C-alpha cells in the first residue's frame, strides 16, 4: 500500500495520520508562487507549489503534488497546436503509464516507427501528434469531461478542439494553468 505525504494545517504536533499500520506525523506545508519546474524537456512556471516540511526541516514535494503538477503540464502540452517533441511524448507516456508499444498500437504503426522518433529526437509527425494529444488528454481528463458537450465547429478543427479541451479542464478545476518559462525566466 503506497502512502502519500499528507499536508494539513492546524493539526496538533502530537497527532498523526494512519496509513496502513504506520503512523505519520502531520506535516507543515509551505506554499510558493510562480516556481520553475523542469519537465518534458523544458522549464515551466507553476503558479502555486506546495512543499511539505519534513521532520528534519528539509522540504519536499509530495507525490500527490508532483502528480498535480504533471497533470497541469500534460494539459498544457496537449492543448498547444505545435507538434509533440519526443521529450513531451516520453513525458506524456510516463504520466499516463503508457508504453511506446501502446503508442504504436494506438496509431496502428509498427513499434520500430515510434522507436525511430525516439532515437532521432526532434518532433513527432504533426498528424500523429494531434492524434496522440487527443488520446493522452482523454486518458487524463476523459473520465471527468468525456460527456461534456463540445461546440460542433470544433469537430473539424483539431487544434481548436485541443485548445477548448485544455481550457475546459482548467475551468472545471480538474487541473491548474501552467506556462512555459520565457528565455528571461530561464
Contact call for residues 84 and 133 (beta carbons, < 8 A): yes
Q: Which pLDDT score is estimated for 45?
A: 95
From first to last of its 186 residues, the chain has per-residue pLDDT tens of: 334 444 333 333 333 443 443 444 567 999 999 999 999 999 999 999 999 999 998 999 999 999 999 999 999 999 988 899 999 999 999 999 999 999 999 999 999 989 899 888 889 998 899 999 999 999 999 888 767 677 777 777 778 888 888 988 998 899 999 999 876 555
* Helical pair 86-96 and 126-145, crossing angle rounded to 10 deg: 30
DSSP 89-147: HHHHHHHHT--HHHHHHHHT--HHHHHHHHHH-SB--HHHHHHHHHHHHHHHHHHHHTT
pTM: 0.80
Q: Of the candidates 83, 89, 82, which has an alpha carbon nearest to the alpha carbon of residue 39?
A: 89
Record the cell numbers describing residue 147, joined without a space: 460527456
Q: Which pLDDT score is estimated for 41?
A: 92
Q: Which pLDDT score is estimated for 177?
A: 92
Q: Which pLDDT score is estimated for 154?
A: 73
Amino acid at each position: 500500500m503506497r502512502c502519500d505525504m499528507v499536508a494539513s494545517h492546524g493539526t496538533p504536533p502530537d497527532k498523526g495520520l494512519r496509513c496502513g499500520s504506520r503512523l505519520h506525523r502531520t506535516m507543515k506545508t509551505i506554499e510558493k508562487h510562480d516556481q520553475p519546474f523542469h519537465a518534458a524537456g523544458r522549464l515551466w512556471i507553476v503558479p502555486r507549489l506546495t512543499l511539505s516540511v519534513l521532520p528534519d526541516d528539509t522540504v519536499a514535494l509530495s507525490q500527490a503534488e508532483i502528480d498535480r503538477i504533471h497533470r497541469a503540464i500534460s494539459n498544457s502540452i496537449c492543448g498547444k497546436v505545435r507538434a509533440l517533441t519526443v521529450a513531451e511524448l516520453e513525458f506524456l507516456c510516463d504520466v499516463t503509464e503508457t508504453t511506446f508499444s501502446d503508442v504504436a498500437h494506438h496509431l496502428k504503426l509498427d513499434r520500430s516507427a515510434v522507436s525511430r522518433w525516439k532515437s532521432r529526437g526532434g518532433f513527432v509527425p504533426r498528424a500523429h501528434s494531434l492524434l496522440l494529444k487527443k488520446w493522452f488528454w482523454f486518458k487524463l481528463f476523459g473520465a471527468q469531461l468525456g460527456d461534456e458537450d463540445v461546440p460542433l465547429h470544433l469537430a473539424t478543427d483539431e487544434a481548436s478542439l485541443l485548445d477548448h479541451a485544455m481550457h475546459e479542464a482548467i475551468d472545471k478545476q480538474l487541473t491548474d494553468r501552467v506556462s512555459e518559462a520565457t528565455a528571461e525566466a530561464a
